[in-house]
Chain A
Amino acid sequence: MTAYFIRTAALLLALAAGGCGQHKGEVFHDQFFAFGTLVDVSLYGVEPRLAESTCRKIEMDFMEMHASWHAWQPGPLATLNGRLANLEPATIEASLLPLLKEANRLSRLSTGLFNPVIGNLIALWGFHGNALPIGTLPDRAAIRELVAQAPSVENVTIRDSIITSDNPSVAYDLGGFAKGYAIDRAIERLRESGIQNAIVNAGGDLRAIGQHGERPWRIGIRHPRETGIIASLEISGDTSVFTSGDYERFFEVEGRRYHHIIDPRTGYPADNTASVTVIHSDAATADAAATALFVAGPAEWLSTAHNMGIRYVMLIDTHGTIHMNPAMQSRIHFEPGIDANISLSAPLQ
């Protein structure tokens, strides 16, 4: 009896001590800076050497994409914008072609609320670089002029790899879309390496495939007005979760906040939304939709989501009301102590 007890206790001791080590070893984490933000890759159950080499490939992909797609640093997109400004046809670099086509398609679906050709407006506000503008507002007349010129993807024609524009104010800025597209490419890269369980998280926007062992991936959603988490959800299979918020990039003048999500219709930051969270399969669509729905605001988010084929939306307006569709409500779990004032919409088909 005594020997049995000792053996059992020793076994329990080994299990208790060893369990945590195994848990620590299950997920491989890698981080690097790209697209002006921190990219975090989590891989479940992957041999460390394969994980490391795959993450380095993803990092190189991100660096190349950032260099090619930057609207204001010398590179293919800046060159293309220069020619469009002079109403000259431009040859689209191979890596940019599918990106621009997809951006144009999503812009049309959003009825222009996601507008990838308002680069001049973004630059006027100073949100085109990594550093934020400090303490100065753009000239009102300059904003009015750019809004009146109304650059839109409808001004643009792409045939084969040649792009033309009939509006000199068209300037591509893919800031509301490129990160999602890059995440999709990273997921492709992981799958090429045979990795089936992973999260690619670029500055808080993510796509997850597979799951964390025997359980789904657990995602916390940041509160737009407080530190910490407002809600959580579990995802598995292949799911992107994107949030656009007015707290991400902003500056303040005389106590008023001016954030980076510009309403193309007014030329000013969209002012009725604090954050929008979108769940969708691919990250590029989720990225563009989060921007479009933020601009759409409480009055127009439902029709915009419907037009863009989005089935799960949570929009928190600047008064704190949480607008969501029933399918989203069934997936979201609010944190204890969150006093959620929910406005439930009609179902999204």
Chain B
Amino acid sequence: MTRADRILVLLIVCTLPFLYVHYWFGNESANFVLIQSGRSDPVTETLQPNRRLHIAGPLGESVIEIRDGRTRFVSSPCKSQVCVHSGWLSSTGGFIACLPNRISLTLADQHARFDAINF
């Protein structure tokens, strides 16, 4: 075995466990929120780090907060404010929409157990 072979074997042996765990067991950074605005493709945002996002809709701007692995509508230019009063989303499959402003939040996981949530 040459020196190059040994380096290659070492590299593979070190990489395999990482890939196995990463793809089959997931990790915290794989949790994400899908933000859909109107007809645009959904935007995927990880739930770390804490931040606020400003998303434009037909009525104006909705503010989405991501904090400690959760997400919520902070404000939205709709009349009823149902989206804001819905509070935090924290579980995979959780869903909130501001229908008047056509923005929805869906919590998902890279290895989600469900194909759809019934509610």
Contact = CB atoms under 8 A, between A and B. Distances in A.
Contacts, number: 116
Q: Is the interface of A mostly helix, strand, loop or mixed?
A: strand
B61 to A, nearest CB: 18
Contacts of A251: 80
A232 interface: yes
Q: Which range holds the interface residue count of chain B?
A: 35 or more
Given A33-B102, A228-B91, A221 B1 contact: no
Interface string B98-109: 011010100000
A202 to B, nearest CB: 11
A221 B119 contact: yes
B116 A40 contact: yes
A206 B118 contact: yes
Interface string A107-126: 00000000000000000000
B60 interface: no
Interface stretch (A6-14, A84-92, A167-175, A303-311): A6-14
Contacts of B23: 16-17, 19-20
A19 B20 CA distance: 10
B90 interface: yes
Contact of A16 (B19, B88, B90, B119): B19
A156 to B, nearest CB: 31
Contacts of B42: 29, 31
A227 interface: yes
A269 interface: no
A37 interface: yes
Among B16, B38, B90, B99, max chain A CB count under 10 A is at B99
Contacts of A12: 16
Interface in A286-308: none
Contacts of A199: 115-116
A-B CB proximity, top 5 nearest? A228-B91, A222-B119, A204-B119, A220-B114, A16-B19
24 contacts: A2-B1, A2-B5, A6-B12, A9-B16, A16-B19, A16-B20, A27-B115, A29-B42, A37-B97, A38-B97, A130-B100, A132-B82, A199-B116, A217-B116, A218-B114, A219-B115, A220-B117, A220-B118, A221-B117, A227-B88, A227-B94, A229-B117, A248-B119, A277-B118
